[in-house]
Amino acid sequence: METTLEFLTTGKTRREVHRHWPDEVKARIVSESLRPDTTVNEVAQRYGLRANSLSTWRTMARQGKLILPAPENAVEFAAMVVEPPLPEPLTVKAATRAEIIVGPVTIRLEEGASASRIAAIARALAAAT
């Protein structure tokens, strides 16, 4: 299989070609170059620009001469006041485990034992004595 590669030229050298970029396009390209993990060189190459042209546009944006579009995922911040935590009030934990004491034997039931469970243990103890 034979492959043919053709190049089309305009007759002008690269130095003679001067593109004019609308401000909206410049702003979008600058905005793209400001994203995290993106370099000026990558973005410039993607759009066929020189990196120094993109850097000039970024400077214009910092000086307010080029208005950037609002970010797609705009983040809003709210004022927050941090106060030291209040001391915890002293609380006495009520005993929640039931105990059945028969002579020298103490039976401690699990926390939150039901009334039917306590009654069953009491009947078993009464039958054993």
Is the pTM of the predicted complex or chain greater than 0.75?
A: no
Look over the chain and give the mean of its residue pLDDT values, rounded to a whole number: 79
Q: What is the mean pLDDT of residues 50-74?
A: 86
70 or 35: whose pLDDT is higher? Answer: 35
Residue 38 has pLDDT above 80, yes or no: yes
Residue 5 has pLDDT above 70, yes or no: no
Q: Two tokens at 50? A: 């020189």
Do the beta carbons of residue 28 and residue 69 sit within 8 Å? yes
Residue 111 has pLDDT above 90, yes or no: no
